């Protein structure tokens, strides 16, 4: 019983990571399309992704382009694979 509950929890977390990765991609695409900083969709995407992207951005050197979404996506994908391997 405990094993099946933990498997369900791990699957839930894996799904949340997949959704979050999708939201990161949506933020990147929105930053190319939406030029209004007061747009509610864009503000939502920034608000939900900045807690992850901000610390990554502060660690990375400034190279003229923001590579923090790529780094976050890769790190979350690695975490997703590790969790999937636990099943």
Max distance between CA atoms of the chain, in angstroms, equals: 52
DSSP letters along 18-53, please?
A: HHHHHHHHHHHHHHHH---TT-HHHHHHHHHHHHHH
Q: What is the pTM of this model?
A: 0.87
- The residue segments making up the domain with residue 81 are 2-85
Q: What percent of the chain has pLDDT over 70?
A: 98
Total domain count for the chain?
A: 1
**Which DSSP state fits 64?**
S
User: Could you read off the pLDDT of 37-72 as tens digits, one per residue?
Assistant: 899 999 999 999 999 999 999 999 888 889 999 999
Instruction: Say if residue 1's pLDDT is above 60.
Output: no
């Amino acid at each position: 019983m405990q094993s099946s509950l933990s498997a369900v929890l791990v699957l839930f977390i894996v799904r949340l990571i997949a959704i979050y990765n999708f939201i990161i991609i949506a933020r990147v695409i929105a930053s190319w399309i939406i030029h209004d900083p007061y747009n509610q969709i864009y503000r939502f995407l920034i608000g939900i992704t900045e807690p992850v992207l901000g610390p990554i951005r502060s660690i990375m050197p400034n190279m003229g382009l923001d590579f923090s979404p790529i780094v976050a996506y890769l790190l979350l994908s690695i975490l997703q694979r590790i969790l999937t391997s636990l099943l």
